[in-house]
Structure 1
């Protein structure tokens, strides 16, 4: 169901209840979709199975031996002059 922003503000508890009972509720601003109110269960389902940022970074491509050796062999000294 679609709600104009003013109606959604005035009847917010009704919008939330309908989101829980009937599914996502669309809020419009000047006739354009502006927001969607979801039940907590719908929101959790939307996020389920989604990798975290850490998982995404750790699941990147594996390093080949040449790259791993180049990283291990690089100088441990700072690459810039450090002024204190």
Structure 2
């Protein structure tokens, strides 16, 4: 992903300004600075270079798919190296008696 050392936050473009100055918007995106475009005052799209987009797609493809259920999530958790049950010593303590009268 091609980025500047410390990119300055890009000021969002209003849609009409982005249309009028599209070449400048593209040049900034090619320099590695994502260009945010707003429509009616709300964030609408982000323009990035093709190289940055490909890098984002590549990193997303390497991520494992999220589990489909909570049970699948628990089963997908990393296992212990020995894959054995945890042997925790239990205290031999009798519960105290409580008078509920």
* Fold match (TM-score > 0.5): yes
Structure 1 stretches of 4+ with a deviation exceeding 6 A read: none
Q: TM-score, normalised by structure 1?
A: 0.57
Which among 22, 37, 40 is matched to residue 12 of structure 1? 22
Q: How many angstroms apart in 2 are the aligned matches of 1:43 and 1:21?
A: 13
Aligned residues: 53
Deviation digits for residues 2-51 of structure 1 (CA, Å, limit 9, x no counterpart): 10000000111110100111411000011110011010111011001416
Q: TM-score, normalised by structure 2?
A: 0.48
Q: Which has the larger radius of gyration?
A: 2
1:34-53 equivalences under 5 Å are 34-49=44-59, 50=61
Q: Secondary structure at the match of 1:41?
A: helix
Q: How many angstroms apart in 1 are the aligned matches of 2:21 and 2:55?
A: 26
Which among 36, 42, 52 is matched to residue 26 of structure 1? 36
What's the Cα RMSD here? 1.7
Whose helix fraction is larger, Structure 1's or Structure 2's?
1
Q: Which runs of 5+ in 1 are unaligned?
A: 62-84
